[in-house]
Amino acid sequence: MRTTYDVIVIGGGHAGCEAASAAARFGASTLLITHKVETIGEMSCNPAIGGLGKGHLVREVDALDGLMARVIDQAGIQFRLLNRRKGPAVQGPRAQADRALYRAAMQDAILGCDGLTVHAEAADAFLISETDGRKSVTGVMTSSGKTFRAGAVVLTTGTFLRGMIHIGEKTIPAGRAGEAPAIPLAEQLYSLGLPMGRLKTGTPARLHRDSIDWSGLDVQPGDEQPVPFSFLTDEITTPQIPCHITRTTAATHAIIRDNLDRSAVYGGAIDGTGPRYCPSIEDKVVRFADRASHQVFLEPEGLDDPLIYPNGLSTSLPESVQHDFLKTLPGLENVKVVRPGYAIEYDYVDPRALDHSLAVRDLDGLFLAGQINGTTGYEEAGAQGLVAGLNAAASCGSSAPITFSRTDSYIGVMIDDLVTRGTREPYRMFTSRAEYRLRLRADNADQRLTPVALEGGFCSHDRAAAFHVKQAQVSALTALLKDRTLTPPQARAHGLAINQDGRRRSGAELLSNPTISFDALRQIWPEIADFDPAIQAQVEIDCRYSVYVERQAADVAALQKDKAIRIPADFDYRSLAGLSNELREKLEAARPDNLANASHVDGMTPAALSLILARLSRRAA
């Protein structure tokens, strides 16, 4: 049996799968170590992919030739483009998944990946060597005592680190329901001195499909024309089914209020910090006492799967109480609970211990991705896995790190948020986290990021070919719209309402006016219609936001300039005269590595920045 690889990935969840396949695509010989092959690609919480912000991440993973988008395109049973009416920058694809189909598609992708080997066993310990006082991870020992050596290890343990499930007064040490937690690894991580914290999250009960009275419930259908996630998917062929909606009632709230002291979260059994955006039903009833009712989506876990996921009812109340309150929801009067909901507490590593390539700063050869970094969600995990896998592979081959910035991607926003600010609740992506979201759209993820994959040599031929064709068409139509112009009187003759200011405007400029429709331009210049409708839509969006995108580009340029001014790690703030003690302490703690980051240290003043600059220019001289 082979025992030496370039990269070892621990964990076969969403982060692990993307990490392993990305490392292999990059050309590294890769070993994926996971408990069981059968749980590779398991969706342990809500069986859905995408959403607002999250859908952007999936498109970006796809643009970088990752797996997730193609897998959900095979496994999705209800596709919806969210925010369809709210402008392309904030539209996010979402799909309900058949869990079995998703697992199967992901397992196919992993087991069929060139250069990737899977070993099914628990990883118990890192092999660590020390040179000149600096430690590095050189391999992994499994629970049976086998050792594997590698140039770099990616750890993607999800909630397996000292996981503790709470159901009412009951506590069960576990990673996921029915699976053992990875305690030895957690203890070794502690012994390595990594800064750690504790988080909590929750999941609702799973209900049996046949025990629900569907007749009176609102139906939420999927889109008639499902929009695929992957830029390579032409059509969704999996059968599509609807979800249903029910609501909590006054009786539900009364039962929950009466049993609050028995909730693990409210009874004080849990001290980890939970997410604000995914509160338990206890939380909702307490914090929003004025709301008479909360909406609950009844989401099927698969085409043939009898389980129903009641989205919106995450809880840590005792099993009997869960059953009692569930019965008060319309349609659930005779509900059968297959598995109770629970809260889970787990350890995470403070991601400020990582750099932008997701490498642990103080320990060579170790990369972390996914929930272990304090995030929540398959999409956040997958995107980090991809970045960690690429960089683990790059580090073995002595290639330069492949990093992303806030100005090019949601991936960049997420990693920058994590490694520079850390997180105290499970971190989830939102479009509002991306200050450049008018540029960073789901529709143009390929244009933003596929060139990175091409340049890095980890893009498949198929994707490269499809990208070049699309890019050529986008460029041609953009050039056409910039070339065709109208004078204001001509525009008026065509029925377009613009200022009669004598300024000739191009088709592209006309589109930046929200009152002018693309249809109107197609009538004026019929040659536009020669282009593929998808290309037309893409170029239209680009033109619509062009004014804002250009303004943001100016912000980005200013940011890049300040980022180019590097502050050495050993910069001596102590000897800077004129810096307040408070600010000095903050700077010493944050150790910003360039001027842009320094300017965002809390309490920073222009005068203090100038002091740092003055010292830097003196050092350079």
Partner 1 sequence: MAGSAKGILVAGSEDARLSAGKGRACVSADTIFALSSGMPPSGVAVIRVSGPDAIAAVVALTGGSPPLPRHMALRGLRGADGDSIDEALVAVFPAPGSFTGEDCSEFQVHGSRAVVSALAEALGSLGLRPAEPGEFTRRALRNEKLSLTQAEGLGDLLQAEAKEQLRLARQSASGALATLYEGWRQRILHVQAECEAELDFSDEDLPPGRQDALAKAIADLTLELGAHGRDNVRAERVRAGIMVVLSGPPNAGKSTLLNLLAKRDVAIVSEEAGTTRDILEVSLDLAGYAVTVVDTAGLREASSAVESEGIKRARHYGEAADILVSITAPGLKDAVLSREADFQLWNKTDIAPAPAGPWLALSLRTGAGVDAFLEALTAKVARDYGLGETVVSGQQRHQAAVSDAATHLSRAKDYLQSGSEAQLVLVAEECRMASMALARILGLVDVEDILGAIFSSFCIGK
Minimal distance, residue 18 CB to partner 1, in Å: 20
Minimal distance, residue 504 CB to partner 1, in Å: 22
C-alpha to C-alpha distance for 100 and 97, rounded to whole angstroms: 9
Q: What number of residues does the chain have?
A: 621
Residues 594-613 that bind partner 1 (CB under 8 A): 594, 596-597, 599-603, 605-607, 609-611, 613
Nearby residues of 263 by Cβ (< 8 Å), 6 or more positions away: 168, 280, 282, 315, 316, 317
Which member of 148, 160, 297, 467 binds partner 1 (CB under 8 A)? 297
417 touching partner 1, by CB under 8 A: yes
C-alpha to C-alpha distance for 12 and 313, rounded to whole angstroms: 27
Element (H, E) at 111: helix 99-111
Which member of 165, 265, 278, 369 binds partner 1 (CB under 8 A)? 278
Nearer to partner 1, 74 or 316 (CB): 316
Minimal distance, residue 601 CB to partner 1, in Å: 6
Q: Which residues of 525-559 are buried (b: 16+ CB within 10 A; e: fewer)?
A: eeebeebeeebbebbbbbbbbbeebeebeeebeeb
C-alpha to C-alpha distance for 139 and 146, rounded to whole angstroms: 11
Minimal distance, residue 19 CB to partner 1, in Å: 19
Which member of 239, 514, 526, 533 binds partner 1 (CB under 8 A)? 514
Which member of 93, 115, 151, 312 binds partner 1 (CB under 8 A)? 312
Nearer to partner 1, 60 or 480 (CB): 60
Element (H, E) at 339: strand 337-339
Number of residues that bind partner 1 (CB under 8 A): 95
Which member of 3, 523, 557, 568 binds partner 1 (CB under 8 A)? 557
284 touching partner 1, by CB under 8 A: yes
Which member of 31, 43, 89, 207 binds partner 1 (CB under 8 A)? 89
C-alpha to C-alpha distance for 35 and 33, rounded to whole angstroms: 7
Residues 378-407 that bind partner 1 (CB under 8 A): 400-401, 403-407
435 touching partner 1, by CB under 8 A: yes
291 touching partner 1, by CB under 8 A: yes
Minimal distance, residue 203 CB to partner 1, in Å: 11
Element (H, E) at 166: strand 164-167
Residues 320-359 that bind partner 1 (CB under 8 A): 350, 352, 356
Pair of tokens at residue 124? 């118990």
513 touching partner 1, by CB under 8 A: no
C-alpha to C-alpha distance for 229 and 382, rounded to whole angstroms: 14
Q: Residue 406, Cβ neighbours under 10 Å: how many? A: 21
Backbone region of residue 358 per phi and psi (left: phi > 0; alpha: psi in -120 to 50; beta: other values): left
Minimal distance, residue 371 CB to partner 1, in Å: 17
Q: Which one of the spans 4-12, 251-259, 330-338, 410-418 is the region binding partner 1 (CB under 8 A)?
A: 410-418
Minimal distance, residue 202 CB to partner 1, in Å: 10
Side-chain-side CA neighbours of residue 270 (13 Å): 34
416 touching partner 1, by CB under 8 A: yes
Window 44-63: contact mask with partner 1 (x via CB under 8 A) = -------xxx----------
Minimal distance, residue 556 CB to partner 1, in Å: 9
Minimal distance, residue 226 CB to partner 1, in Å: 17
Q: Residue 154, Cβ neighbours under 10 Å: how many? A: 35
Q: Which one of the spans 131-139, 360-368, 485-493, 590-598 is the region binding partner 1 (CB under 8 A)?
A: 590-598
242 touching partner 1, by CB under 8 A: no
39 touching partner 1, by CB under 8 A: no
Long-range contacts of range 504-510, CB-CB < 8 Å, 24 or more positions apart? 506/481, 506/482, 507/480, 507/481, 507/482, 507/543, 508/478, 508/481, 508/482, 508/543, 508/546, 509/543, 510/486
